[in-house]
Amino acid sequence: DTAVSQTPKYLVTQMGNDKSIKCEQNLGHDTMYWYKQDSKKFLKIMFSYNNKELIINETVPNRFSPKSPDKAHLNLHINSLELGDSAVYFCASSHQGQYTGELFFGEGSRLTVL
Amino acid sequence: AQSVTQPDIHITVSEGASLELRCNYSYGATPYLFWYVQSPGQGLQLLLKYFSGDTLVQGIKGFEAEFKRSQSSFNLRKPSVHWSDAAEYFCAVGALGSGTYKYIFGTGTRLKVLA
């Protein structure tokens, strides 16, 4: 049973299109994240939600809109896709609070914008 | 600001040789420290973590790391590398800021293993 699962695994689309990536975790964690990994493997945090509340919002274009319907799900919608959005997007989760733990990652969603 | 530095972008070792991957961090308090491994086309898997206590931590796949506060380092070691260890390795720090923990990653070290 996959702990952090994200779909789709691959996305190929044209510039200007809108796309979404979904993420679900079954670990009972209260905090979820989106990370972007570029072609040089650099991992940069984009957003973090704690119990459905946005707590980290790094400098990300407002074409990116996260949504957390409940604490087990965090989706990422991207409007008007650009070439520079091509990357691997990782969802992750952790527990924060009295005991803050490590990040658990999904397998990634590779987005290619043509 | 918190940061993590992995000075070696690439490292090549022969199978059976020992390995040390370097990691330095910048953070005002005692950090939470992690090492992750990423195989091609895969997500990141936790190798080991340091929260407190014994500064030498053991992880999976025969890896260990040592936290040295005086050097702000958390280097990863393995006494004998296997060909299957070829992957990208990331050091990360969990740092408290504005009431929440942020996990900051280094730029990664790509390990190549020669048969």
Candidates B10, B36, B21, B20; CA nearest to B94 is B36
Domain hosting A35: range is 4-113
Q: How confident is the model over B2-29, as a mean pLDDT? A: 94
Average pLDDT value over all residues in chain B: 93
The CATH number for A12's domain is 2.60.40.10
> Cα(first)–Cα(last) distance of chain B, in Å?
41
Domain hosting B90: range is 3-114
Q: Between chains, do A45 and B104 touch, taking CB under 8 Å as contact?
A: yes
Q: What is the pLDDT of residues B27-63, one digit of tens each?
A: 877 789 999 999 988 899 999 999 888 999 999 999 9
Q: How far apart are CA A5 and CA A107, in angstroms?
A: 7
Tokens coding B75: 């280097």
pLDDT of residue B84: 95
Q: How far apart are CA A32 and CA A4, in angstroms?
A: 10
Task: Select from A43, A100, A102 the Cβ nearest to the Cβ of B90.
Answer: A43
Task: Select from B34, B43, B49 the Cβ nearest to the Cβ of A90.
Answer: B43
Q: How far apart are CA A8 and CA B35, in angstroms?
A: 27
Confidence band of A1 (pLDDT split at 50, 70, 90): low
pLDDT of residue B85: 97
The CATH number for B57's domain is 2.60.40.10
**Amino acid (one-letter) located at B36:** Y
pLDDT of residue B69: 92
Q: Please compute, for residue A81, the number of CA atoms within 13 A of its CA located in the half-sphere on the CB side.
A: 20
pLDDT beyond 70 at A99: no
Q: What is the pLDDT of residues A61-87, one digit of tens each?
A: 999 999 999 999 999 999 999 999 999
Q: Between chains, do B43 and A105 touch, taking CB under 8 Å as contact?
A: yes
Q: Is B70 on the interface with A (CB under 8 A)?
A: no
pLDDT beyond 80 at B1: no
pLDDT of residue B31: 85
Tokens coding A67: 């949504």
Residues in chain A: 114
Tokens coding A102: 């490590």
Q: What angle do CA A83, A89, A90 make, to 5 degrees?
A: 170
Would residue B114 be called left, alpha or beta, if left means φ above 0 and alpha means ψ between -120 and 50 degrees?
beta
Shortest alpha-carbon distance between residue A108 and chain B (Å): 6
Q: How far apart are CA A68 and CA B62, in angstroms?
A: 38
Number of independent structural domains in chain B: 1
Candidates A68, A106, A19, A79; CA nearest to B43 is A106
Q: Is B32 on the interface with A (CB under 8 A)?
A: yes
Q: What is the pLDDT of residues B12-22, one digit of tens each?
A: 999 999 999 99
Confidence band of A38 (pLDDT split at 50, 70, 90): very high
Q: Is B89 on the interface with A (CB under 8 A)?
A: no
Q: Percent of chain B, pLDDT > 70?
A: 97
Number of independent structural domains in chain A: 1
Q: Is B2 on the interface with A (CB under 8 A)?
A: no
